[in-house]
Amino acid sequence: MRVLIIEDSPEIIDAVSLCINLRWPEAEVFSSAEGGRGLELIEEKGPDLVILDIGLPDMTGLEVLRTLRGFSDVPVVMLTARSQDIEIARYLEEGADEYVVKPFSHVEFMGRIQAIFRRAHGRMRTVSKPLQAGSLLMDFGAAEVYESGRPVGLTRTELSLLEHLVRNATRVVTYESLASNMMQIAEPADADSRLIKVHVQHLRSKLGDSAENPKYIANVYGIGYKFLQQVTAGVAGLMQGQQGQSALV
Ligand code: CA
């Protein structure tokens, strides 16, 4: 499956690419920061799905949508800056298939566009591929986490925090970024930096990690956290070897 992202924010391109690749590791994702180049890429590459930002430097998303509908039936998901019913209705009228309001969490994004992705490529596997970091195995699609082969029970908030850190592995993730990610799934009252610290403390203890001698989640004092390990596609054999059965396949 080939996915084209037309979006001028590198952060959003990264976030969307990661969402797609977590779920469909084989997907080929390419992007353009400009509408004009994006239209060329649709002709050149024939993507199975287009993710289109409404505000681009050279054209509006609406202009891009109208132009591409002149020559392509590719499914289009709009990325809108905020919920504006009138604009969204207009885009759907002009041939967009779905929309996602920024900022969004991985869970929200996937929930919103899963059906479109399936339609875009029926042959793609719809089960998520586990990810591995050290002895930690994570399947965010299935909401399952294993440490050294043992299942780790996490709350939805802890799972979301872990996922956000893992998605940004080896990079500093600020309290603000974690808070805004949490706002998507939790009560606003939960998205406070003191509460984030409490949730991270619980998460660490469940993963057998510690702030003093971090294996996975390190404090970046006054700023936030960093997931220390490189993340790779998970090995189902790890589970089979350690438990005699795979809980993930
Ligand atoms: Ca934009």
Assess whether 18 and 82 both reside in one domain.
Answer: yes
125 pLDDT higher than 60: no
Q: How many other C-beta atoms are found inside a 10 Å radius of the C-beta of residue 65?
A: 22
133's tokens: 């970091």
Which CATH number characterizes residue 66's domain? Answer: 3.40.50.2300
Q: How far apart are CA 138 and CA 239, in angstroms?
A: 11
Ligand 1 mean position, distance from CA 55 (Å)? 4
157's tokens: 């908030």
Residue 157 sits in which domain range?
127-233
Torsion of CA 71, 74, 75, 77, to 10 degrees: -70
To which residue do tokens 């793609």 refer? 124
238's tokens: 């790890």
Assess whether 90 and 156 both reside in one domain.
Answer: no
What pTM was estimated for this model as a whole? 0.50
- What pLDDT, on the 0 to 100 scale, is given for residue 166? 92
Mean pLDDT score across all residues of the chain: 82
Ligand 1 mean position, distance from CA 56 (Å)? 5
Least confident of 135-139, 140-144, 213-217: 140-144
Assess whether 24 and 113 both reside in one domain.
Answer: yes
101's tokens: 């309001």
Ligand 1 mean position, distance from CA 89 (Å)? 19
Tell me: the pLDDT tens digits for 79-121?
A: 988 766 677 878 888 888 888 888 888 888 888 887 777 666 5
Assess whether 105 and 38 both reside in one domain.
Answer: yes
Ligand 1 mean position, distance from CA 171 (Å)? 23
- Position 115 in a domain: yes
Ligand 1 mean position, distance from CA 57 (Å)? 7
Ligand 1 mean position, distance from CA 124 (Å)? 29
In a 10 Å sphere around its CB, with 0-12 CB exposed, 13-18 middle and 19+ buried, how is residue 182 labelled?
Answer: buried
Tell me: the pLDDT tens digits for 140-162?
A: 877 789 999 899 988 777 888 89
18's tokens: 């990661």
- What pLDDT, on the 0 to 100 scale, is given for residue 175? 87
Q: How many domains does the chain have?
A: 2
Ligand 1 mean position, distance from CA 226 (Å)? 27
Ligand 1 mean position, distance from CA 177 (Å)? 19
Q: Give the DSSP letter of residue 55.
A: B
Q: How far apart are CA 242 and CA 81, in angstroms?
A: 46
- What pLDDT, on the 0 to 100 scale, is given for residue 20? 87
Least confident of 19-23, 176-180, 188-192, 241-245: 241-245
- What pLDDT, on the 0 to 100 scale, is given for residue 126? 39
Ligand 1 mean position, distance from CA 59 (Å)? 10
Q: How far apart are CA 177 and CA 184, in angstroms?
A: 11
Assess whether 14 and 110 both reside in one domain.
Answer: yes
Assess whether 29 and 82 both reside in one domain.
Answer: yes
Ligand 1 mean position, distance from CA 248 (Å)? 37
Assess whether 61 and 143 both reside in one domain.
Answer: no
Ligand 1 mean position, distance from CA 72 (Å)? 22
Which among 79-93, 176-190, 218-232 has the top mean pLDDT? 218-232
Ligand 1 mean position, distance from CA 104 (Å)? 14
User: What is the mean predicted confidence (pLDDT) over 216-230?
Assistant: 94
User: What is the mean predicted confidence (pLDDT) over 31-41?
Assistant: 96
Band (189; pLDDT cuts 50, 70, 90): low
Tell me: the pLDDT tens digits for 12-31?
A: 999 999 888 888 888 899 99
Tell me: the pLDDT tens digits for 200-213?
A: 999 999 999 999 99
Residue 40 or 193, more confident = 40
Least confident of 34-48, 52-66, 156-170, 177-191: 177-191
Q: Which candidate, 130, 134, 132, 157, places its Cα nearest to that of 208?
A: 134
74 pLDDT higher than 90: no
- Position 224 in a domain: yes
Assess whether 81 and 192 both reside in one domain.
Answer: no
